[in-house]
Amino acid sequence: MWLIVQLLLLLSVAAAETDCDAAAAAADQETELRIVQIKEEILRRLKLSEAPVVSEASGAAPPSLPAPLAHLADPPTTSTNPPVHDDVTVDKVILFPVEQGDQTDASSRSALSFRFQLPSQLYAEDLSSAELWLHKEESSDNSEDFLISELSDNGTILFMQKITINSRWANADIGSAVRRWLRAQPKEIFITVYVSCSTCKIGQIPPISQTSDNRPFLVLSINSIEKSRRTKRVVTCEPKTRDCCRQYLNVSFADINWDTWIVEPSYYGAYYCKGSCTTVSSLSESKNSFQMLKRDYNDSQNKTVLPSCCTPHRYGNLQIIYRIGNQLVKATLKDMTVEECKCS
C-alpha cells in the first residue's frame, strides 16, 4: 500500500512539472506574438514597410544624439496626447549634411559649405524653430566670430547671421531662412549653408569641426498640440492577482535587433491587460456601476450575457528617436503603452 502511495505522489509531481513547463512555453509564445504585433505597429505608424537598413556612410546620421541634444533622450515628465487624428507626431528632426566642403563666400573669405536636405513633407507653417549647431575645433582656444550665410545662384546674399562661439558648441536661429526655403516647396529641398570666420586670419579655413561626432547639424522643431493627463491609480499584476490588472511587458530593441536604427529609448514598457472580470472586486475596482447593475438584472431574469472583458482603458505614448538616412527623427507614437486596464 505504501508503495502505491509513493508511486501516486511521484506521478502527481511529474504531472505538475509537465503542466508548469507547458504553461511556461505557452507564456513565452504569447510574449513573442505580442512583440511581433508591437514591431508591426511601430513600422505601420512610421509608414515603413520594414526596419531601415542603417548605412555607415559619411553622410548618414550618427548612432547617438549629438552632445548638445543629449537631453532629448530623457523621458517626458508627464503623459502627452498628440492630436487625435494622428498616429504619430514628429517633434523634432535633426538633419546632418549630405555634403560638405571648402568654398568662398560673398566676401571672398575662406568658407565651409554644408548641404542639407529638408524633409519633403514639412511645411513652413508647421515649423516652430530651426537651429544650426556648430562645434569649434579644440585647436582654437580663442573666441571667434562666424558668419552664416546663404547665396543665390548668382552670388547674391539671401541670408546672413553672425554668431560668436566662446566655448565648443553654439547654435544660431535660422528659422526665417528655413521657412523661406520651405515655402518654395520643390519636390526635393536642398539648401547650402556657408560658414566663414570674420575674426580669423585671411585665408584661414574656419575652425569648425567636420568629424563624425562633432559635425554641424540642423535641428527643426515641429509644432504639435499636446494635452497633459492626470495620473490615476493603476492596478498592476502581481503573481497572485486574479482580477483585471496591467501586466508588464518589456520590449528591448537590442533583443529584436532594432537598436541599430532606434537610438532612444533602448527599451520600453508596453504592458497589456489580463485577469478576470467575474469577481465582485474586479467590477468594483472598475467603478463601472452600469456593468454591476446589468449583471444583477440579468441574474434576476436568468438571462445569459457575454461576460465583461479586461481591456485597456487608458493609453500612454511612446517617444522614440530613430535614424533614417541622414536624419535623426524624434517622434511621439500615440497609444503605444497601456496605462490602465478596466472591465468593460
Please give the DSSP secondary-structure letter assigned to residue 248.
Answer: P
Q: Would 204 be classed as within a structural domain?
A: yes
Q: How far apart are CA 314 and CA 251, in angstroms?
A: 19
> Which three cell numbers mark 210?
567636420
Tell me what pLDDT residue 296 has.
55
**Cis peptide upstream of residue 97 (ω within 30 degrees of 0):** no
- CA 207 to chain CA mean position, Å: 33
Q: Would 14 be classed as within a structural domain?
A: no
Q: Would 26 be classed as within a structural domain?
A: no
Q: What CATH number is attached to the domain comprising 120? A: 2.60.120.970
* Domain final position from 198, 222, 246: 222
Regarding whether 147 and 127 lie in a shared domain, the answer is: yes
Regarding whether 118 and 78 lie in a shared domain, the answer is: no
Beta bridge pairs of residue 193: 114
Tell me what pLDDT residue 79 has.
42
Q: Would 11 be classed as within a structural domain?
A: no
> Which three cell numbers mark 205?
579655413
Query: Other CB atoms closer than 10 Å to residue 331's CB: what's the count?
Result: 20
Regarding whether 210 and 133 lie in a shared domain, the answer is: yes
Give the pairing of strands 272-274 and 245-247. Answer: antiparallel
Regarding whether 96 and 211 lie in a shared domain, the answer is: yes
Q: Would 2 be classed as within a structural domain?
A: no
The whole domain housing 148 covers: 87-100+109-222
Regarding whether 181 and 136 lie in a shared domain, the answer is: yes
Q: How far apart are CA 216 and CA 218, in angstroms?
A: 7
Regarding whether 308 and 202 lie in a shared domain, the answer is: no
Regarding whether 197 and 142 lie in a shared domain, the answer is: yes
Regarding whether 263 and 147 lie in a shared domain, the answer is: no
What residue spans of the chain are helical by DSSP H? 2-45, 175-184, 280-286, 289-300
Q: Would 215 be classed as within a structural domain?
A: yes
Q: What CATH number is attached to the domain comprising 334? A: 2.10.90.10
Tell me what pLDDT residue 58 has.
57
Regarding whether 214 and 93 lie in a shared domain, the answer is: yes
Regarding whether 272 and 173 lie in a shared domain, the answer is: no
Ranges of beta strands (E only) in 256-326 are 262-264, 267-269, 272-274, 310-324
What 3-state class would DSSP assign to 274?
A: strand
Taking alpha carbons only, the member of 330, 344, 335 closest to residue 75 is: 330
Low-confidence ranges of the chain (pLDDT < 70): 1-27, 56-59, 74-88, 102-109, 140-141, 152-156, 185-188, 224-234, 279-307
Beta bridge pairs of residue 205: none
Q: Would 293 be classed as within a structural domain?
A: yes
Q: How far apart are CA 172 and CA 222, in angstroms?
A: 17
Regarding whether 204 and 278 lie in a shared domain, the answer is: no
Taking alpha carbons only, the member of 330, 333, 292 closest to residue 71 is: 330
The answer to whether 292 and 277 are in contact (CB under 8 A) is: no
Taking alpha carbons only, the member of 283, 278, 282, 344 closest to residue 313 is: 344
Taking alpha carbons only, the member of 185, 255, 172 closest to residue 218 is: 172
Q: Would 7 be classed as within a structural domain?
A: no
* Domain final position from 171, 187, 222: 222
Give the pairing of strands 157-165 and 144-151. Answer: antiparallel
Taking alpha carbons only, the member of 302, 237, 312, 304 closest to residue 275 is: 237
Regarding whether 240 and 205 lie in a shared domain, the answer is: no
Please give the DSSP secondary-structure letter assigned to residue 211.
Answer: S
The total domain count for the chain is: 2
- CA 232 to chain CA mean position, Å: 24
Beta bridge pairs of residue 131: 173, 219
Residue type for 51, please?
Answer: A
* Domain final position from 191, 222, 253: 222
